[in-house]
């Protein structure tokens, strides 16, 4: 008997199912009709580390399978925003998503929010010690509890703070409504700084900034730039206070139904695409910073050592406050891996 979905199928999910059905009959590699078409949905622009990784994955899979496996990429929350993309994956309305690690907490995996702890990582090599080490594997091994399979991690990079004023000292955050992802750790970070966290979908953020629903936000510069947030934020402060990365996940039933050889091909293509994304993420963020400077819309502030130290001190209590949500064993393992 067919398993009943745990959620009611939204109109968007239904439309996506139709989109997928159409995709199955549409040739994507020359004249060859693919046997399988994987629908990869994400919420950011194409010219971001995630957008480029998805595109590279598509090219590799289609080329290596000789067009037998197709990949359709739906960027910019065309199909789903980050409120519902994981649900769509669980329902089988899409086949791959790459949510930020901050978005797994609300599906019952709060341990992923450890990546959101402010000033946790000194650099991306520290991130790698987690994502490519035993802790990363342990995190991915929790996904089947939600009917998902985790295929790998990759970076966007470090987040910066924006608003219509410089954000250099904790006092600068007082009373600001800051858009955050649905992560309790990030919400606690904003509260520790004296701001009010407002959880919003990524695709609603620019408009919320424009209309004054929120005053500011945080994101790596590639997201800030490609969403044209610079048009509605006068100040960007280069705080590098937190990490934004992703996990690529698929539907467990789909994964189990694929032939072993196809799984292998997909997994290898994905690993290559993720390595590529990690190599270009820094460059993407630097290019976005240059473009931003040239646009001249937004003042860019570099923090001095004292300012950075005071921000770091202000958010220090967050780790303690959120330890029970993330789980003491995760925090201990994290500390061991980083020191």
Q: Is 219 in the site for ligand SIN (CB under 6 A)?
A: yes
CB nearer ligand SIN, residue 32 or residue 291: 291
Asked if 148 and 85 touch (Cβ cutoff 8 Å), the reply is no
Residue indicated by tokens 């520290």: 126
Strand runs (DSSP E) across the chain, as ranges?
A: 36-41, 69-74, 96-97, 148-163, 177-180, 196-199, 217-219, 235-251, 299-302
Asked if 133 and 125 touch (Cβ cutoff 8 Å), the reply is no
In terms of DSSP bridges, do strands 148-163 and 299-302 run parallel, antiparallel, or are they unpaired?
unpaired
Candidate list 121, 202, 243, 276; residue touching ligand SIN; CB under 6 A: 202
160 backbone dihedrals φ, ψ, rounded to 5°: -120, 160
Asked if 241 and 169 touch (Cβ cutoff 8 Å), the reply is no
Q: What's the closest the beta carbon of residue 154 comes to ligand SIN, in angstroms?
A: 11
Q: What's the closest the beta carbon of residue 172 comes to ligand SIN, in angstroms?
A: 21
Q: Is 181 in the site for ligand SIN (CB under 6 A)?
A: yes
CB nearer ligand SIN, residue 119 or residue 246: 246
CB nearer ligand SIN, residue 246 or residue 255: 246
What residue number has its CB nearest to ligand SIN? 202
129-158 binders of ligand SIN (CB under 6 A)? 156
Q: Is 44 in the site for ligand SIN (CB under 6 A)?
A: yes
* Total chain residues near ligand SIN (CB under 6 A): 11
CB nearer ligand SIN, residue 100 or residue 237: 100
60-89 binders of ligand SIN (CB under 6 A)? 82
36 backbone dihedrals φ, ψ, rounded to 5°: -130, 140
Which region, judged by CB under 6 A, interacts with ligand SIN, from 42-50, 54-62, 84-92, 161-169? Answer: 42-50
Q: What's the closest the beta carbon of residue 164 comes to ligand SIN, in angstroms?
A: 19
Q: What's the closest the beta carbon of residue 228 comes to ligand SIN, in angstroms?
A: 15
DSSP secondary structure string for all residues of 38-76: EEEE-SS-TTSHHHHHHHHHHHHHHHHTTTSEEEEEE-T
Nearest partner of 284 among 8, 41, 48, judged by Cα: 48
Q: Is 100 in the site for ligand SIN (CB under 6 A)?
A: yes
Which residues lie closer than 8 Å to 48 by C-beta, 6 or more apart? 156, 222, 223, 226, 284
Task: Name the site residues for ligand SIN (rule: CB under 6 A).
Answer: 43-44, 50, 82, 100, 156, 181, 202, 219, 223, 244
């Amino acid at each position: 008997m067919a398993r009943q979905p745990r959620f009611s199928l939204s109109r968007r999910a239904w439309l996506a199912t139709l989109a997928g059905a159409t995709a199955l009959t549409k040739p994507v590699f020359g004249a060859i009709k693919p046997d399988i078409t994987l629908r990869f949905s994400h919420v950011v622009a194409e010219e971001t580390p995630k957008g480029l990784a998805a595109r590279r994955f598509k090219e590799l899979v289609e080329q290596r399978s000789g067009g037998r496996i197709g990949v359709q990429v739906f960027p910019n929350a065309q199909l789903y925003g980050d409120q519902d993309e994981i649900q769509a994956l669980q329902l089988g309305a899409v086949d791959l998503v790459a949510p930020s690690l901050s978005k797994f907490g609300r599906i019952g995996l709060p341990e992923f929010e450890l990546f959101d702890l402010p000033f946790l990582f000194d650099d991306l090599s520290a991130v790698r010690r987690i994502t490519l080490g035993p802790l990363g594997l342990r995190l991915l091994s929790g996904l089947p509890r939600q009917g998902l399979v985790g295929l790998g991690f990759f970076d966007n990079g470090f987040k910066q703070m924006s608003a219509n004023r410089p954000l250099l000292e904790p006092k600068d955050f007082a009373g600001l409504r800051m858009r955050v992802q649905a992560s309790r750790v990030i919400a606690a970070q904003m509260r520790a700084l004296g701001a009010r966290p407002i959880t919003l979908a990524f695709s609603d953020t620019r408009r919320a900034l424009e209309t004054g629903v929120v005053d500011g936000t945080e994101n790596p510069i590639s997201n800030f730039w490609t969403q044209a947030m610079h048009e509605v934020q006068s100040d960007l402060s280069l705080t590098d206070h937190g990490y934004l990365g992703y996990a690529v996940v698929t539907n467990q039933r789909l994964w189990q139904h694929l032939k072993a050889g196809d799984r292998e091909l997909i997994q290898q293509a994905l690993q290559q695409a993720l390595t590529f994304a990690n190599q270009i993420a820094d460059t993407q963020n630097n290019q976005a910073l240059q473009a931003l400077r040239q646009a001249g819309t937004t003042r860019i502030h570099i923090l001095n050592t004292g300012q950075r130290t005071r921000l770091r001190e202000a958010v220090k209590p967050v780790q303690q406050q959120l330890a029970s949500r993330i789980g003491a064993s995760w925090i201990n393992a994290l500390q061991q891996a980083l020191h």
